[in-house]
Amino acid sequence: MNGGKKEYTFLWFIKNYSYFWTTTDKELLSPEVTLEVLEGTSWSICLYPGYLKYKRRDLNSVYLKRSAHDAGPESVSLKLEISVITADGSTLSSEESEHAFRNGDECGFKLLLDMDELYVRRNTEYLPRDTLGVRCRMWQGEGSVHNVGQCSTRTRIGIEKICFLHRVENFSALKLGERKILQIPSHSKTGCVISSSLSVCNTLAGNDPVIVGIVPSDSNYILCRKKLSLLYESGNTKECGEVDYRFLDVGTDIQKLERQLTRQFLLNKKWEYLPNDELSLLCECTFSTGAEHAKIEEIIYKIPLAAYNQKYHNAMGKNGNKAAEHLSAPLSPSADMEVNHNNQCLINMKLKANTFSAYNVAPSTTPSVALNQMTNNDQNKIMYNAAEKLSMCPSVQDDFTALYSDQLLTDVVLKTSTKSFPAHKNVLCARSSVFRAMLTNDMKEKITDCIKVEDLENETVHRLLLFLYSDNLEELRWESALKLYYAGDKYAIEKLKVLCSSFLVDSLSTPTASELLLLADTHSDTDLKKLVEDFILEHEEEVFGSDEWDSLSETNPKLVLNTMKVKYKREKAGK
């Protein structure tokens, strides 16, 4: 080919990558793209996640494949660079090669990742937004780049979350090994039914753990996460534990859950966890349903290098915008997922379950697109569907979340004892009056462009900033809610405080009442403190007899004394 080097970049992003539960030899295939700039040849990328995950040096983990039936020449010689990248374009692994492709030919690459960061240490920063990318650069000719092109494709790993309540009456009479079975429909198009089997097992340790087995009727449904919580008679819950089967240390999760949820534990606090001898266990399950959606998002054809560079960075930003879902996924719909709002209820004489499906992802066919084949008449025949087009546009929330994730034009950092978090002064000032005072008055934060937050943990700062940019708070747990409440109060972010306190109140129980009372008192939150006091006095026998209350009495006797005064005044007023 004459006229300098002609280069083409093939981008492929895989959303919800950690949920692609697979055997070692199972492949994941990108959409196929036909490239006129490469003589009408058609290409796809094939990834073997198992070989990336288990570091198989003897086997190729990524392939570039030429179609066996394209209209291009018999052989096409290319120089290649294949890279595994993150959603923001950071390169994790890369390899170059040169190959002459015939129809149906392929070229393999032994790319490796440090998947211990993801599957052992559960490091969400290693694979931001749980999106893995493959970038293939293909070029012909030598010298400076003359013409360039690019296509961006995307595959989504389907996720379906199901939450249901498994009730068992006469729990104390349940025999060892006896199973209580509950059938829950998933409401997906496949008609999959989830079977929940609850039993008490006899172990060598003698702790008789309560085991909940989850089995889907569809083999394409793979259980990835399971979270169990006890439901109080008041409607509040106590988290027992969570098992995340995606990670290599899943055995630790299982052992922890078995230690916490035992027959003896439930019987010892029967008045609290077994009202009327009925066990109510809230089960939250996340299933992977495999690669359910693939599409070509953008194609750039023969543009100058400078324009290509600009478009490439824009494309990376867009891919960052649309990638949503961390390793710990919340029960809320993402922009790319259809939501089933029809809550269903199953009622059985002995077992009852309230079920809902948070994610129902409709499968889509894998497209194949040829460049410059669509005539003007063909284009005119396409119906203009404004609603569909608008649904594909990123929202303000998406754009601001990407602004934080991509760290574009940041001008200030929040610094913990071990890490710095780049941010934007305008956003911090708009969301927090404390940050506004720091950055607009003659204070050291304004002079140094650095806000020290050494009293906060890295994860808390990350979630704090994510909330400031997105106005969204996902997958709260008791500990994280306590820490974010503290941050919200310190930096005068009232909405964050309200959301966290609401979660804490909803999760209030006799073991946590002492801690929440101390939090409310420390931050002078009178409304929250009164609510906790009401709860404590309604459950005074259980709370006052708990280890947590004994510990509070030792560390903060004045607060305990004031609570007893409230009890005395109410009793006196009631006489």
- Check if the beta carbon of residue 241 is closer than 8 Å to that of residue 228: yes
Distance CA(85)–CA(291), nearest Å, equals: 19
Model pLDDT, residue 373: 38
Model pLDDT, residue 331: 32
Q: Which parts of the chain sit beneath pLDDT 50?
A: 1, 307-308, 310-384, 388, 575
| Class of the domain covering 159-289 | mainly beta
Dihedral (CA of 561, 565, 567, 568) sign: positive
Sequence-ordered alpha helix ranges (H) in 323-395: 376-381, 386-392
Question: Residue 291 pairs with which residues in a beta bridge?
Answer: 157
Model pLDDT, residue 475: 78
Cα dihedral 305, 394, 471, 502, rounded to 10, equals: -140
At 118-133, the pLDDT tens digits run 655 555 666 777 888 8
> Distance of alpha carbon 468 from its chain centroid, rounded?
18
- Specify the DSSP class assigned to residue 19: G
Model pLDDT, residue 389: 57
Q: Copy the structure tokens of residue 33.
A: 């793209």
Query: Environment class of residue 328 by beta-carbon count within 10 Å: exposed (0-12), middle (13-18) or buried (19+)?
Result: middle
> Distance of alpha carbon 534 from its chain centroid, rounded?
36
Query: Environment class of residue 572 by beta-carbon count within 10 Å: exposed (0-12), middle (13-18) or buried (19+)?
Result: exposed
Task: Considering the domain delimited by 394-493, tell me its CATH architecture.
Answer: 2-Layer Sandwich (3.30)
Cα dihedral 533, 535, 536, 537, rounded to 10, equals: 90
Question: Residue 176 pairs with which residues in a beta bridge?
Answer: 200
Sequence-ordered alpha helix ranges (H) in 22-172: 49-53, 116-119
Model pLDDT, residue 125: 63
Distance CA(170)–CA(167), nearest Å, equals: 10
Distance CA(507)–CA(510), nearest Å, equals: 10
The yes-or-no answer to whether 394-493 and 508-574 have a common fold is no
Task: Considering the domain delimited by 5-143, tell me its CATH architecture.
Answer: Sandwich (2.60)
- Check if the beta carbon of residue 218 is closer than 8 Å to that of residue 196: no
Model pLDDT, residue 366: 36
> Distance of alpha carbon 475 from its chain centroid, rounded?
9
Q: Copy the structure tokens of residue 327.
A: 């390793």
Which distant-in-sequence residues (6+ apart) come within 8 Å of 44 by Cβ? 29, 30, 31, 32, 33, 65, 67
- How far, in Å, are 65, 90, 285 from residue 17 at the CA level? 21, 16, 18
Q: Copy the structure tokens of residue 434.
A: 């404390």
Closest by Cα among 8, 17, 157, 150 to 92: 17
Model pLDDT, residue 498: 92
Distance CA(504)–CA(493), nearest Å, equals: 17
Q: What is the DSSP string of 384-442?
A: --HHHHHHHSPPHHHHHHHHHHHTTT--EEEE-SS-EEEE-HHHHHHH-HHHHHHHHSS
The domain spans of the chain are: 5-143, 159-289, 394-493, 508-574
CATH code linked to domain 508-574: 1.25.40.420
